[in-house]
Amino acid sequence: MRMKQIHVAKHAPEAHLVKGFLESNGIAAVVRGEFLTSGWGELPLDVCGVWIEDERQYDRAQALLVAFLNGDIAREMRSRNWRCPQCGEQQEGQFTACWKCGAPRPA
C-alpha cells in the first residue's frame, strides 16, 4: 500500500479533525508534519498534512472530505441565496429585492 496526502490543514486541530472524520468512514489516515526537525531543534509548523494509508481510497476519501469541509457552508449558502423569478439572476441572502431588475424576493 502506498500513502497519499489528502489534505493540508492550517493547524493541528484541523488535521486531527480530518483524520478522525476519515477514520470514522473506514479510511485509515495519519497526520504528518506537526513538527519539523531541523538542526536547530524542533520547530512547530502551522501547516500539517493528513495522509491516507492506502492511496486506492483517495477518490472516495476526497469526495467525503469535500462534502465534510463544505457541508455547513454550502448548506448555509443554499438556504440564504435565492434566484430572481423575473430575470433569473442569482441573489445573495441579504437582498430582499433583485439588484438587477428590482423584482421583490419571492416568499
6 vs 98 by CB, closer to Zn ion: 98
68 vs 82 by CB, closer to Zn ion: 82
State in angstroms the smallest separation of the CB of 91 from Zn ion.
8
State in angstroms the smallest separation of the CB of 4 from Zn ion.
46
Q: Applying CB under 5 A, which residues contact Zn ion? A: 84, 86-87, 89, 98, 100-101, 103
44 vs 85 by CB, closer to Zn ion: 85
State in angstroms the smallest separation of the CB of 105 from Zn ion.
10
**3-state SS, one letter per residue, for the chain:** CCCEEEEEECCHHHHHHHHHHHHHCCCCEEEECCEEEECCEEEECCCEEEEECCHHHHHHHHHHHHHHHHHHHHHHHHHHCEECCCCCCEECCCCCECCCCCCECCC
